[in-house]
Chain A
Amino acid sequence: MSGTSLRPMAGSVAVLVALATLPWWAGDQYQIHLAALIAAWWILVAGLNLVVGFGGQLSIGHVGLLAIGAYAFAILAGRHDWSPWIALAASGGLGGVCGLLLGLPSLRLPGFYFAMATMAFALIVAELVLALGDLTGGGVGLSVPGFPEPFESPAGHYLLMLGIATIITWCAWNVARFPWGRALVAIRDNPVAAESVGVPVFRMKLAVFVASGVTAGLAGALFASLQSYITPDTFVFELGLFFFVCIIIGGRGSIAGPLAGTAILTALPELVAPLAKLGTLFYGLLLLAVVLLVPEGIGRLFQVILERLRPRETASPVLEPDAARLAAAIRRQERP
């Protein structure tokens, strides 16, 4: 492994160690709860980021998938006494199935109409939760069980969510760095070029959308058990916009950016009391500032700083093709 990839790796490990030991150095229970909340949102955003940040498909309705995961978990683990682990897996699976059912008709729509379809989906889910009172408890809501020992305590629950969030982050990072990530960026930036090299545009959009449904379902289940009680008011439409804004502020085509965006947007209003009073206005102002000042997001800002620190390329830029080498390169990749 080269030195350039070692440093970010060491950084990630350091951050992970710091996060894993949080219960032992956190000031109070509330900070642990906040960290668990960030983990829940990030599990959803990590999947959504592949759809929005990499694939360029503007979904604003993932709160609907989150609600489905949360209610599935509450009903299966709470009312039907399923093992929380099986209920968690079922919530993720159901999120994926709903993602498939939503994505199949809507992912062929051009950007704006696709966003509208996802919004409509979120609104329909919200209405259904109210209408199906026998199943969901209607406006009264449902109590949600926690996970068995050793994940019962707030610290244990947090560590569980941190573990799942870490795995999801690793998976998202893998998707991003392998050919899949490049093909998704191609679908976002230049679908015509993507087609010309054989990228199956619709199939890929659908695959990542289903994956984002799975992570939204998992996030919903973990979030619900963290809250221990859910009502329809928990899953307001603004929450779907919040996830979207985390990605835009973090920056498209990056993993670290949206992760930072999720953490900042979740924690800031909670930690800085005056900001909490501003409520949604704070998100609005922050979004405005980012879009106007760093339209590529804070993730890109980090990259620009890193690029500045790196030495300039000194090689002389003369475009001089070498026929012999080119022929060798072409012949080498010929199929037998």
Chain B
Amino acid sequence: MTALVADGVTKRFGGLTALAAVSLDVQPGEVHGLIGPNGSGKTTLLNMLCGYYPVDEGAVRIGEEDLSRASVQRRAAVGIARTFQKPRLLPTQTVLENAMLGGWRDTRTGFLAAALSMPRVRAEQRELRDRAQAVLEGLGLGYALKRRAQLLDHAESRFLEIGRALVLRPRFVLLDEPAGGLTGAEIERLGIVIRTLRDCGIGVLLVEHHTEFVFGICDRVTTLNLGRMIRHGTPHEVRHDPEVIRVYLGS
């Protein structure tokens, strides 16, 4: 099984070390939690796995493939998908079109083929639409396929972003605070979705502040503080670690 690995990655912004030699691996079919106080480097690490920030030291790999220098697009192509803290959707496009955007890398046709509406382009479009629709219906968004994304409520936006990530056919999905702003019932439904991804063999990295949710759903949890890893283990181990309690959980 090939894992998504951050191997001793370091990131500096000017004189500030945002991440210091942090290592972490996400296995296929596991939910890996990443917790820590604000400013501990969780989102920075996520951005480095996706390629938005280059690594200063260390490496990012999937299996043997070194992705440290790979572009964001290349990492999407090898199957790393993500969502954002604040959902980034296309407000004027429909829910279905937003999800279909996730399948961009399966588009093999060039500009001219598209402009001339070659049969291949239409077949691709059909296939993509069916695929996106099936994912959205699975997520419970089937009733909103034709709605413009700007009319969605917060939970719908979050689920649509997950849908877009899934249409990418990911091997790994990185979720940046997906429970933020959701009600208790909505967080439960989010849990159903994340467990389903895991059961389908997708590796999930879950950056989240909602610690009850994290400990309830994750197979393993990594805790960061001030850019350093302070504890890594099962939810039970992390939850009862005195250092984690001191800097983050409180007593």
Indicate if the CB atoms of A175 and B111 lie closer than 8 Å.
Answer: yes
Indicate if the CB atoms of A323 and B192 lie closer than 8 Å.
Answer: yes
Q: Does B200 contact A (CB under 8 A)?
A: yes
Of all chain A residues, the one with the shortest Cβ separation from B83 is: A196
Q: Quick one: CB contact mask for A291-320 with B, threshold 8 Å, 1 for yes?
A: 000000000000000000000010111111
Indicate if the CB atoms of B196 and A185 lie closer than 8 Å.
Answer: no
Instruction: Give the most central of B91, B111, B137, B159: most A CB within 10 Å.
Output: B111
Shortest C-beta distance, A231 to chain B (Å), equals 34
Q: Does B101 contact A (CB under 8 A)?
A: yes
- A315-B143, A327-B196 known; A190-B138 Cβ under 8 A: no
Q: Does A331 contact B (CB under 8 A)?
A: yes
Shortest C-beta distance, A318 to chain B (Å), equals 7
Q: Quick one: CB contact mask for B140-182 with A, threshold 8 Å, 1 for yes?
A: 1101101100000001100100001011110000000000000
Residues of B within 8 A of A171 (CB): 115-116
Residues of B within 8 A of A170 (CB): 117
Of all chain A residues, the one with the shortest Cβ separation from B50 is: A196
Residues of A within 8 A of B107 (CB): 179-180, 183
Of all chain A residues, the one with the shortest Cβ separation from B111 is: A207
Residues of A within 8 A of B105 (CB): 197-198
Instruction: Say which one of B9-17, B30-38, B124-132, B218-226 lies at the interface with A.
Output: B124-132
Indicate if the CB atoms of B131 and A323 lie closer than 8 Å.
Answer: no
Q: Measured between alpha carbons, how far is A123 from B48 in the docked complex, in Å?
A: 43
Residues of B within 8 A of A315 (CB): 143
Q: Measured between alpha carbons, how far is A166 from B237 in the docked complex, in Å?
A: 68
Partner of A335 from B93, B115, B146, B169 at Cβ < 8 Å: B169
**CB-CB contacts below 8 Å: B194-251 with A:** 195-197, 199-200, 202
Partner of B91 from A189, A195, A319, A322 at Cβ < 8 Å: A189
Count contacts on A: residues with CB < 8 A to the other chain: 49
Main secondary structure of the interface of B (DSSP, over half): helix
Q: Does B121 contact A (CB under 8 A)?
A: yes
- A178-B114, A329-B131 known; A183-B137 Cβ under 8 A: no
Of all chain B residues, the one with the shortest Cβ separation from A315 is: B143
Q: Does B67 contact A (CB under 8 A)?
A: no
Q: Measured between alpha carbons, how far is A316 from B166 in the docked complex, in Å?
A: 24
Q: Does A67 contact B (CB under 8 A)?
A: no
Q: Measured between alpha carbons, how far is A189 from B114 in the docked complex, in Å?
A: 21
Residues of B within 8 A of A257 (CB): none
Q: Measured between alpha carbons, how far is A189 from B101 in the docked complex, in Å?
A: 13
Q: Does B82 contact A (CB under 8 A)?
A: yes
- A193-B88, A317-B144 known; A175-B114 Cβ under 8 A: yes
Instruction: Say which one of B18-26, B58-66, B71-79 lies at the interface with A.
Output: B71-79
Q: Measured between alpha carbons, how far is A200 from B107 in the docked complex, in Å?
A: 12
Partner of B138 from A174, A179, A253, A327 at Cβ < 8 Å: A327
Shortest C-beta distance, B247 to chain A (Å), equals 30
Q: Measured between alpha carbons, how far is A322 from B189 in the docked complex, in Å?
A: 9
Partner of A190 from B88, B128, B200 at Cβ < 8 Å: B88
Q: Does A272 contact B (CB under 8 A)?
A: no
Residues of B within 8 A of A180 (CB): 107, 111, 114
Partner of A321 from B92, B93, B192 at Cβ < 8 Å: B192
Of all chain A residues, the one with the shortest Cβ separation from B168 is: A197
Of all chain A residues, the one with the shortest Cβ separation from B100 is: A182
Indicate if the CB atoms of A329 and B134 lie closer than 8 Å.
Answer: yes
Shortest C-beta distance, B53 to chain A (Å), equals 13
Shortest C-beta distance, B94 to chain A (Å), equals 10
Indicate if the CB atoms of A196 and B76 lie closer than 8 Å.
Answer: yes
Instruction: Give the most central of A177, A197, A315, A333: most B CB within 10 Å.
Output: A197
Q: Name 7 interchain pairs, CB-CB below 8 A, sorted by A.
A: A174-B117, A179-B100, A179-B125, A185-B92, A318-B143, A321-B189, A330-B166
Since A170-B117, A325-B134 are in contact, a sample of 5 more A-B pairs with Cβ atoms closer than 8 Å, ordered by chain A residue number, is: A197-B101, A319-B189, A326-B135, A333-B135, A333-B167
Chain A interface residues toward B at CB < 8 A = 170-172, 174-175, 177-180, 182-183, 185-186, 189-190, 192-200, 207-208, 211, 253, 313, 315-323, 325-335
Q: Which 6 pairs from chain A and chain B are nearest by CB?
A: A326-B138, A198-B76, A329-B134, A193-B88, A315-B143, A171-B115
